[in-house]
Amino acid sequence: MKETIVFVHGMCHGAWCWEEYFVPYFEQQGYTCVVFNLPGHEVAGSTKAIHFSMNDYVCALSDVVGKLSQDPIIVGHSMGGMILQRFLAKGGRCKQAILMSSVPPAGVLMPSLRVLFQNPGAFKFLFQANLLGVFNKYPHLMFGSNKNTEQYAGLMCAESFWAYLQLMMPISRVPKMVPMLVMGGSADALISVDEFKQTAERYGTTLELIEGGSHDLMLEPNCHQYAAMIHRWLENS
C-alpha cells in the first residue's frame, strides 16, 4: 500500500469534485484517498449562506491530517491551495504538497480585480456577498469550455464571504518547506499564468503548465492525464 493522499477542495466546491475521476485513479495506483467537505460545504448545490473563516478551513484540514498515522500527501485546489499553504505555515504535517490552480501566496486581490474588469456583471453579486452568484453567471471562470459545465455547476454551493475576504491577505512567511508541485492551466480564467509562476518561484519549484487547461482541472475530459502527471511527480520527487 502506498501513501495516503488528502484532497482539499476549493471555493464553492465539495468532496464531490475529486470523487468522479481523481479518487478512482489514485486508488488504482495503490494510494489511500481521503476527501472531505470544508465546513458549510456538506450539501452539494446548497444556497444557504455560510460564515466561516480561513482559520476554520485550516483547522478542518488539520483535524483530518491529525487522524492519520503518517504524514500524507496533500492536494489543494484553488482556495484549497491557500488552505494548504496556511496549514504548512503553521507547521502542519505533510510529506508532499500539490498546489493545483491555487490561489497564489500574494492572495486573491489581483485575480479578483481582473475578474471584475473582464466580467463587470460580477459586481452586483459581490455587493450582495454572493460568490456562488458570480460563478453561476460566469461558469467559464471555473470550468472553461468543459461541455459538462451544467452538470458540475449545479453541485456548487454558497461560499463564506468572510473567508473570501481573508484570501486577500498574502502569506506573510514561507510555509514549512516540503517537496511541492505547482500546476495550473494556461486558460485558467481565475488565476493567471504569471501568478502560477510567482507561486512556483516563491516555493523554489517548477511549474507544470497545462496548455489549454481551465481552473477545474480535475473535472476536465483530459483530467486523467493531469492525475498521471501528479502520479509521476510523486514517484520521482
Give the number of other CB atoms < 10 A from CB of residue 144.
Answer: 20
pLDDT at residue 124 in the model: 95
Taking the CA of residue 215 as centre, how many other CA atoms within 13 Å lie in the half-sphere pointing to its CB? 27
Extents of the domains making up the chain: 4-236
**pLDDT exceeds cutoff 70 at 175:** no
pLDDT at residue 27 in the model: 97
Q: Residue 184: in which H helix or E strand, if any?
A: strand 180-185
Q: Are 100 and 217 in contact (CB under 8 A)?
A: yes
Taking the CA of residue 177 as centre, how many other CA atoms within 13 Å lie in the half-sphere pointing to its CB? 7
Residue with cell 473535472: 219
Q: Are 158 and 11 in contact (CB under 8 A)?
A: no
Residue with cell 444556497: 47
Q: Strand 207-210 and strand 73-77: pairing?
A: unpaired
* Mean pLDDT over the full length of the chain: 95
**pLDDT exceeds cutoff 70 at 33:** yes
pLDDT digits (tens, 9 = 90+) for 179-214: 999 999 999 999 999 999 999 999 999 899 999 999
Q: Are 61 and 92 in contact (CB under 8 A)?
A: yes
**pLDDT exceeds cutoff 60 at 1:** no
Domain 4-236: CATH superfamily, name plus number: Alpha/Beta hydrolase fold, catalytic domain (3.40.50.1820)
pLDDT digits (tens, 9 = 90+) for 76-111: 999 999 999 999 999 999 999 999 999 999 999 999
Task: Read off the pLDDT band of 176 (50, 70, 90).
Answer: low
What is d(CA 205, CA 202) in angstroms, rounded to the nearest whole number?
8
Task: Read off the pLDDT band of 173 (50, 70, 90).
Answer: confident
Task: Read off the pLDDT band of 18 (50, 70, 90).
Answer: very high
Please tell me whether the overall predicted TM-score, pTM, comes out greater than 0.75 for this model. Answer: yes
